[in-house]
């Protein structure tokens, strides 16, 4: 790995990409073997892993647009990380295709007989949702989501990179103008994608806050990811004077804030359902609590909220970079655990069930994600070199 600090480019991107790609392919092949052993479990594990890595990409898209919209200066040096994370959307589209082959395993509503009045497996409740929960519309929606995400991330990255080759401050305004409606589209697409790919795994259950809950997780995922990418480079003496402790401090503050925001979403949803105690919705929590899933639920309460909350509370915690990186890694593990807890119990309502595929698919999808991310990230300057706000971002301090 060689880095040219005058052009902010990697002249030689190192072995990371190759390692990630081979690990990804090997683990995906191993996971496919699992498909022949237990196809339902394979798809459950796969969609968990897919949603985990996709949430980093979507978080990246959100962070990039937020940066443009607020006109923030401090985050300019981090923008290429979030842009490149969002740039993995084409890869995620390809990785989405296997899910289409697992619809019957994953989604009860995808079986035509549940809508068939003549069939004994007719589901009266699902019948009322047929207009939304059906395979053709599901596929059309997925195409729309990916089209929106691709067009936005593609435009923003393309424009941002174009700015590198000249002092064109107008492009900053253009990216801002696209980000504003982009945000609206993003909010709608991530919400309905989370309804489609996560909430409808248990198609009887519904919650109005679910989209915001998934969004809060995606934001945490990109925050942790940016901290880790920064730290990875820092260990190799890359960008040490550019992404300074001040930036980590701000990333830490936002991560801390969104840990609370995530908990606020999770608690709002849980608390209102617990309090009202209506069978049509409380059962979703009951099968996550009345059996061995309880321990996973407890891990999430403590691991996803209590530990990061206490662990990121102090100023020193946010400014000690190796420590912050450990916390970021921990939060990513918890992000995976949260998605695991959303997906797995829907099909293992009796109790906790662990499969080796849960891990291999995550490494498999993750390997490809990291490879693609790194390939994009190292293909241009790793900071927007001609951005009018770059100088202010590098010298920014928390005072």
Partner 1 sequence: MNVSAKELSDSSTQREILVLGNPTFEKITEAVSRIVEGKPTRWWYALFSISVLLTIMLFANLVYLFWEGTGIWGLNNPVGWGWAIVNFVFWVGIGHAGTLISAILFLLRQRWRTSINRFAEAMTIFAVICALLFPAIHVGRVWVLYWVFPLPNQMGMWPNFRSPLLWDTFAVGTYFTCSLLFWYVGLVPDLATLRDRAKARIKKILYGLFALGWRGGNRQWRHYELSYLVLAGVSTPLVLSVHSIVSTDFATSLLPGWHTTIFPPYFVAGAIFSGFAMVMTLSLIARKVFKLEDIITTKTLERMNKIILVTGLMVGYAYSMEFFIAWYSGNDYERFAFINRAFGPYAWAYWIMVSCNVIVPQLFWFKRLRTSIPVMFIASIFVNIGMWFERFVIVVTLSRDYLPSSWDYYSPTIYDIMLLVGSFGLFFTLFLLFLRYLPMVAMSEVKGVLPQADPHYNHGEGG
Residues in the site for partner 1, rule: CB under 8 A?
Answer: 125-126, 128-129, 132, 180, 184, 187-188, 191, 195, 204, 206-212, 260, 264-265, 268-269, 271-273, 275-276, 278, 280, 392
Helix (H, G, I), strand (E, B) or coil at 4: strand
* Closest among 359, 344, 360, 347 to 296, alpha carbons compared: 344
Tokens of 242: 């550019």
Tokens of 358: 């849960």
Minimum separation from the CB atom of position 166 to partner 1 (A) = 20
Residue with tokens 């080759």: 165
DSSP string covering 165-192, please?
TS--THHHHHHHHHHHHHHHHHHHHHHH
Q: Are 157 and 83 in contact (CB under 8 A)?
A: yes
Minimum separation from the CB atom of position 380 to partner 1 (A) = 26
Name the phi and psi angles at 4, rounded to 5. -100, 110
Tokens of 305: 């909220």
Tokens of 15: 């072995």
Q: Are 335 and 55 in contact (CB under 8 A)?
A: yes
Q: For partner 1, which is the closer residue by CB, 237 or 391?
A: 391
Minimum separation from the CB atom of position 142 to partner 1 (A) = 17
In angstroms, the CA 175 to CA 2 distance is 31
Minimum separation from the CB atom of position 293 to partner 1 (A) = 20
In angstroms, the CA 202 to CA 221 distance is 24
Minimum separation from the CB atom of position 201 to partner 1 (A) = 14
Q: For partner 1, which is the closer residue by CB, 153 or 191?
A: 191
Minimum separation from the CB atom of position 85 to partner 1 (A) = 23
Minimum separation from the CB atom of position 311 to partner 1 (A) = 17
Q: For partner 1, which is the closer residue by CB, 208 or 292?
A: 208
In angstroms, the CA 121 to CA 380 distance is 55
Q: For partner 1, which is the closer residue by CB, 81 or 265?
A: 265
Q: For partner 1, which is the closer residue by CB, 43 or 270?
A: 270
**Tally of helices (H runs) and strands (E runs) in the chain:** 17, 2
Q: For partner 1, which is the closer residue by CB, 260 or 381?
A: 260
Q: What HEC string does 244-292 produce?
A: CHHHHHHHHHHHHHHHHHHHHHHHHHHHHHHHHCCHHHHHHHHCCCCCC
Minimum separation from the CB atom of position 28 to partner 1 (A) = 34
């Amino acid at each position: 790995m060689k880095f040219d600090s005058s052009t902010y480019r990697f002249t030689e991107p190192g072995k990371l990409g190759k390692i990630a790609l081979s690990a990804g392919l090997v683990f995906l092949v191993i996971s496919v073997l699992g498909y022949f052993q237990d196809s339902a479990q394979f798809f459950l594990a796969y969609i968990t892993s897919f949603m985990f890595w996709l949430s980093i990409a979507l978080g990246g898209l959100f962070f990039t647009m937020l940066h443009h919209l607020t006109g923030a200066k401090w985050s300019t040096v981090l923008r290429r990380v979030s842009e490149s994370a969002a740039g993995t959307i084409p890869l995620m589209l390809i990785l989405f295709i296997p899910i289409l082959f697992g619809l019957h395993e994953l989604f009860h509503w995808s079986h035509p007989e549940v809508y068939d009045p003549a069939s004994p497996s007719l589901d009266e409740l699902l019948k009322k949702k047929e207009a939304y929960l059906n395979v053709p519309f599901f596929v059309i929606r997925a195409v729309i989501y990916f089209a929106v995400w691709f067009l936005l991330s593609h435009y923003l990255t393309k424009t941002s990179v174009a700015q590198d080759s000249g002092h064109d401050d107008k492009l900053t305004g253009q990216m801002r103008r696209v980000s504003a409606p982009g945000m609206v589209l993003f909010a709608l697409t991530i919400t309905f994608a989370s309804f489609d790919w996560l909430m409808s795994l248990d198609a009887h259950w519904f919650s109005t806050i679910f989209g915001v809950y998934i969004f809060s997780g995606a934001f945490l995922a990109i925050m942790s990811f940016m901290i880790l990418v920064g730290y990875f480079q820092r260990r190799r003496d890359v960008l040490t004077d550019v992404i300074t402790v001040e930036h980590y401090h701000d990333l830490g503050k936002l991560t801390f804030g969104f840990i609370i925001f995530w908990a606020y979403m999770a608690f709002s949803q849980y608390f209102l359902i617990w309090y009202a105690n209506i069978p049509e919705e409380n059962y979703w929590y009951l099968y996550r609590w009345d059996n061995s899933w309880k321990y996973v639920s407890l891990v999430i309460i403590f691991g996803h909220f209590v530990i990061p909350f206490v662990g990121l509370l102090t100023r020193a915690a946010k400014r000690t970079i190796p420590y912050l990186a450990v916390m970021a890694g921990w939060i990513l593990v918890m992000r995976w655990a949260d998605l695991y807890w959303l997906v797995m119990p829907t099909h293992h309502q009796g109790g906790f069930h662990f499969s080796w595929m849960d891990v291999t698919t995550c490494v498999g999808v993750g390997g490809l994600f990291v490879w693609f991310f790194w390939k994009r990230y190292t293909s241009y300057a790793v900071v927007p070199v001609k951005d009018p706000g770059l100088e202010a971002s590098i010298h920014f301090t928390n005072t």
